[in-house]
Amino acid sequence: MSQLQEELVVLRERLALHDSDRQATTTQLQNQVENLKEKLISQAQEVSRLRSELGGTDVEKHRDRVMVENEQLRQELRRCEVELQELRAQPVVPCEGCEHSQESTQLRDKLSQLQLEVAENKGMLSELNLEVQQKTDRLAEVELRLKDCLAEKAQEEERLSRRLRDSHETIASLRAQSPPVKYVIKTVEVESSKTKQALSESQTRNQHLQEQVAMQRQVLKEMEQQLQNSHQLTVQLRAQIAMYEAELERAHGQMLEEMQSLEEDKNRAIEEAFARAQVEMKAVHENLAGVRTNLLTLQPALRTLTNDYNGLKRQVRSFPLLLQEALRSVKAEIGQAIEEVNSNNQELLRKYRRELQLRKKCHNELVRLKGNIRVIARVRPVTKEDGEGPEATNAVTFDPDDDSIIHLLHKGKPVSFELDKVFSPRASQQDVFQEVQALITSCIDGFNVCIFAYGQTGAGKTYTMEGTPENPGINQRALQLLFSEVQEKASDWQYNITVSAAEIYNEVLRDLLGKEPQEKLEIRLCPDGSGQLYVPGLTEFQVQSVDDINKVFEFGHNNRTTEFTNLNEHSSRSHALLIVTVRGVDCSTGLRTTGKLNLVDLAGSERVGKSGAEGTRLREAQHINRSLSALGDVIAALRSRQGHVPFRNSKLTYLLQDSLSGDSKTLMVVQVSPVEKNTSETLYSLKFAERVRSVELGPGSRRTELGSWSSQEHLEWEPACQTPQPTARTHSAPGSGTNSRPGSIRRKLQPSGKLKPVPV
Ligand code: ADP
Ligand code: MG
């Protein structure tokens, strides 16, 4: 019993102990629960504080505010756009040159730029709105999760308090039932450990929740930051929008001002126009009144006019008849006038032709009076080549009163000659050309002309014919004159000038302008039976300017130079011919003329002694002598109008037959060397000249005259066939024969007409 009592005491002590322990544990648990509650409350408070401080409400508010602002801005923007469109829709008053128009266009440009910027900002705003929306969504999510956590926490609290209550009840029941204390204690212990576990779980949960809360706080902070940023951005955008608005406002203001001024202008213009219109109206009214009064006075005038008109109408009806009649008479008059003019023209043309003929006749007569065959002498100056000493002294003198006389001192005896003209050494190329000029003009009129340079080698033949480049001779001057004459007549005549160049050496004719200068040319009778001569294959160049002539001369010269090693020597032993043909057509009459100008630089006339020369030199001398004699004979026969003229005795005379016969003109320039050593040749040349010239043309005296002169020097080796052998004359009678009229006789002798074509 005592044992039991002891055990009971021990048990009671242990129970008390256990009780106190449980009490302590319960108090401890209660404290813990209390703490947890407090913590929960504080956390809930914290959460609510947080929610109130930074929670969704503020963000939402802020967002709402931003959205409202955005909406306002949108509305404002829309309003601006509407205003803008209205402004645009308003008709633009054309005001060209208005100073505002430029400003207005500038403003419009600026406006469109601003609109672009506004559109950009709008895009940005909508992006921001989207972002805000997203953030709001996320916030709502977080809040939802927070709510869940709080609900869970409340549930846990509920459960824990329920269990605490249960534990209290259990303890109370255990106290009531002491026997199963152990069990109860055990249960309590077990319960208490469970509670501990639950507590620890709730603690970890709490921890977790706290972490989540911290995380949420972090998220909230971030969002707040983002919100802050977006707020700033919104502020910026608003500032920009405000700026644009101000700009818009300004533009609008300017536009309004402009419109105002335009309106004013318009009003002013309308007023002015109105005032003007009023004034005009007034004037028109006045005019109308005047017209009315006029109308009243015009009525009688109108009546008379109507009468007049009727009268005119009648006249007009009869007008075609009158007109026809008038036309008929006018036509008749015109026809008559035309006929008169035509007959006048015909008359004029007839007169013109007659005048032309007369001029030609006069010119021809002039030349004829001078003599169709004329002989002049030209004395060259003494040159260095003549050397010095007595041999080089001057043996030629002139008559100061008569330019047709030349005196020669030969072997101490004075001899005088009379020619048509004598040129002293002082005479220039131009002076000499002056003498031949008339002949060149004859050539244009359709006459054939021959100009010969005769004389011993070195006497100046080539100088007179060709001259030097600086001082050209007859050849070039003649062509120049031809060109200028042809030019002058160009309005009435068309001319064609051609040039041929040939040489006769040892009685062989060669073409100096041909491609084959060595080729022998033949003189042929024209196959048409006209009796004309021509040289087949002789080259003819058409020339139009002095340049052309120079080219032709150069070409001929080059041909000769390449052909002969000593040109000077060769040229002194050959005859050089330049044949110029002038063909003309009279534009008004169609009359055709052909004139030939033969410019001949003869071979040297010096005599070669029979004993001193042999071979080639002798042959050359024989040919030269024969041809020069033949020329002298032909000229003599022509001058004396013999029935037979010995043209065929040499190539030269045969070739020049056409140009020597008929109404052709011939000029012989006898070149004379003035120095002592050449007096013998000079004497011979002058004798030849005088012989050619001295034939007097009276029909009775012809034979006698013919018998009185000589050409024996040329016939030293070969007697002349036709020419008699007269004695030498040192002086001839003055040209009384020039007064005779040989033309008619010559025409009888030479049937070939002067205007007939002369084929080459
Ligand atoms: P040809 O042809 O008769 O043999 P050129 O004409 O060759 O003689 O003349 C011989 C020389 O005399 C040349 O040097 C030439 O320049 C010169 N001469 C001839 N006539 C004159 C003149 N009137 N004035 C000046 N020099 C002349
Ligand atoms: Mg010469």
What are the pLDDT digits (tens) for 666-703?
999 999 999 999 999 999 999 999 888 765 443 322 22
Residue 515 has a pLDDT of 85
690 vs 731: CA distance, rounded Å: 8
Atom number of ligand 1 nearest to Cα 425: 23
458 lines ligand 1 (CB under 6 A): yes
Query: If you average pLDDT over residues 300-324, what whole number do you get?
Result: 88
Q: Is the confidence at residue 90, as pLDDT, over 80?
A: no
572 lines ligand 1 (CB under 6 A): yes
575 lines ligand 1 (CB under 6 A): no
Please name which ligand lies nearest the alpha carbon of 560: 2
Please name which ligand lies nearest the alpha carbon of 503: 2
Q: Is the confidence at residue 581, as pLDDT, over 90?
A: yes
671 lines ligand 1 (CB under 6 A): yes
407, 415 Cβ separation under 8 angstroms: yes
- Please state, in angstroms and as integers, the Cα–Cα distance from residue 168 to each residue in 22, 34, 36, 156, 163, following that order: 11, 15, 18, 18, 9
449-454 vs 665-672, strand pairing mode: parallel
Query: If you average pLDDT over residues 80-97, what whole number do you get?
Result: 64
Query: If you average pLDDT over residues 170-188, what whole number do you get?
Result: 64
Residue 576 has a pLDDT of 93
Residue 168 has a pLDDT of 84
Residue 499's closest CA among 580, 594, 593?
580
* Sign of the dihedral defined by the CA atoms of residues 112, 114, 115, 119, in that order: positive
460 appears as a binding residue in the annotation? yes
More confident residue, 376 or 559: 376
Query: What is the chain's mean pLDDT, rounded?
Result: 79
Q: Is the confidence at residue 532, as pLDDT, over 80?
A: no
556 lines ligand 1 (CB under 6 A): no
- Percentage of the residues of the chain whose pLDDT score is greater than 70: 78
Dihedral (C-alpha) 421, 427, 433, 436: value to the nearest 10 degrees? 0
Which residues touch 661 (CB under 8 Å, ≥6 apart)?
Answer: 638, 645, 647, 746, 749, 750, 752
120 vs 591: CA distance, rounded Å: 100
Q: Is the confidence at residue 51, as pLDDT, over 90?
A: no
Query: If you average pLDDT over residues 398-420, what whole number do you get?
Result: 93
708 lines ligand 1 (CB under 6 A): no
Structure tokens at 655: 């070739």
Atom number of ligand 1 nearest to Cα 463: 6
Residue 494 has a pLDDT of 93
In the chain the first and final C-alpha atoms are separated, in Å, by 199
Q: In what order do the strands lie in the sheet with 402-410?
A: 396-399, 402-410, 413-418
Report CA(430)–ligand 1 centroid distance (Å): 15
Residue 697 has a pLDDT of 40
Residue 295 has a pLDDT of 84
More confident residue, 391 or 455: 455
Report CA(670)–ligand 2 centroid distance (Å): 13
Contacts 24+ apart (CB under 8 A), 28-33: 29/164, 29/167, 29/192, 29/195, 29/199, 30/164, 32/199, 33/160, 33/161, 33/164
Q: Is the confidence at residue 436, as pLDDT, over 70?
A: yes
Residue nearest atom 16 in ligand 1 by C-alpha distance: 463
Residue 739 has a pLDDT of 29
Please name which ligand lies nearest the alpha carbon of 380: 1
Report CA(451)–ligand 2 centroid distance (Å): 15
632 lines ligand 1 (CB under 6 A): no
Atom number of ligand 1 nearest to Cα 429: 23
- Integer Rg of the chain from CA: 74
604 appears as a binding residue in the annotation? no
Segment among 81-95, 537-551, 710-724 with least mean pLDDT:
710-724
Residue 738 has a pLDDT of 29
Residue with tokens 């003498």: 435
456 appears as a binding residue in the annotation? yes
Structure tokens at 551: 């080219």
Listed residues: CB within 5 A of ion ligand 2: 461-462
Residue 676 has a pLDDT of 94
Q: Is the confidence at residue 227, as pLDDT, over 80?
A: yes
* pLDDT classification of 224: cutoffs 50, 70, 90: confident
List 578's β-bridge partners, or say none: 501, 599
- Please state, in angstroms and as integers, the Cα–Cα distance from residue 517 to each residue in 481, 524, 540, 562, 612, following that order: 29, 19, 14, 10, 31
Query: If you average pLDDT over residues 163-188, what whole number do you get?
Result: 70
Residue 539 has a pLDDT of 94
520-521 vs 508-511, strand pairing mode: antiparallel
* pLDDT classification of 370: cutoffs 50, 70, 90: low
Report CA(312)–ligand 2 centroid distance (Å): 94
- Among 423, 430, 463, 464, which residue has the most ligand 1 atoms within 8 Å of its CB, making it the best to mutate? 463
449-454 vs 493-505, strand pairing mode: unpaired
Residue 600's closest CA among 478, 691, 693?
478
More confident residue, 322 or 742: 322
457 appears as a binding residue in the annotation? yes
Residue nearest atom 17 in ligand 1 by C-alpha distance: 460
Structure tokens at 207: 């921890």
Residue nearest atom 22 in ligand 1 by C-alpha distance: 380
- Among 378, 380, 503, which residue has the most ligand 1 atoms within 8 Å of its CB, making it the best to mutate? 380
Report CA(457)–ligand 2 centroid distance (Å): 6
486 vs 480: CA distance, rounded Å: 10
What are the pLDDT digits (tens) for 713-757?
333 323 222 222 222 222 322 233 322 222 222 222 222 222 222
376 vs 130: CA distance, rounded Å: 131
**pTM exceeds 0.75, yes or no:** no
381 lines ligand 1 (CB under 6 A): yes
174 vs 170: CA distance, rounded Å: 6
Concatenating the DSSP letter of every residue in 185-244 gives HHHHHHHHHHHHHHHHHHHHHHHHHHHHHHHHHHHHHHHHHHHHHHHHHHHHHHHHHHHH
Q: Is the confidence at residue 709, as pLDDT, over 60?
A: no
389 appears as a binding residue in the annotation? no
Query: If you average pLDDT over residues 119-146, what whole number do you get?
Result: 84
Please name which ligand lies nearest the alpha carbon of 463: 1
Query: If you average pLDDT over residues 128-146, what whole number do you get?
Result: 84
461 appears as a binding residue in the annotation? yes
* pLDDT classification of 464: cutoffs 50, 70, 90: very high
Residue 185 has a pLDDT of 55
Residue 719 has a pLDDT of 27
What single letter denotes the amino acid at residue 140? A
455 lines ligand 1 (CB under 6 A): yes
Report CA(372)–ligand 1 centroid distance (Å): 27
273 vs 416: CA distance, rounded Å: 115
Q: Is the confidence at residue 426, as pLDDT, over 70?
A: yes
Please name which ligand lies nearest the alpha carbon of 456: 1
Residue nearest atom 9 in ligand 1 by C-alpha distance: 460
Query: If you average pLDDT over residues 598-605, what whole number do you get?
Result: 95
Segment among 34-38, 383-387, 685-689 with least mean pLDDT:
34-38
Residue 58 has a pLDDT of 60
719 lines ligand 1 (CB under 6 A): no
545 vs 552: CA distance, rounded Å: 11
Structure tokens at 604: 């040297």
495 vs 479: CA distance, rounded Å: 13
Q: Is the confidence at residue 465, as pLDDT, over 60?
A: yes
What are the pLDDT digits (tens) for 482-506?
999 999 888 889 999 999 999 999 9
What are the pLDDT digits (tens) for 106-118?
777 877 888 888 7
| Ranges of H-type helices in 564-601 | 567-572
What are the pLDDT digits (tens) for 649-671?
999 999 999 888 888 889 999 99
Report CA(462)–ligand 2 centroid distance (Å): 4
203 appears as a binding residue in the annotation? no
539 appears as a binding residue in the annotation? no
For every residue of 487-509, which 3-state class applies, written as one string? HHCCCCEEEEEEEEEEEEECCEE
Residue with tokens 């000038």: 497
- Percentage of the residues of the chain whose pLDDT score is greater than 90: 29
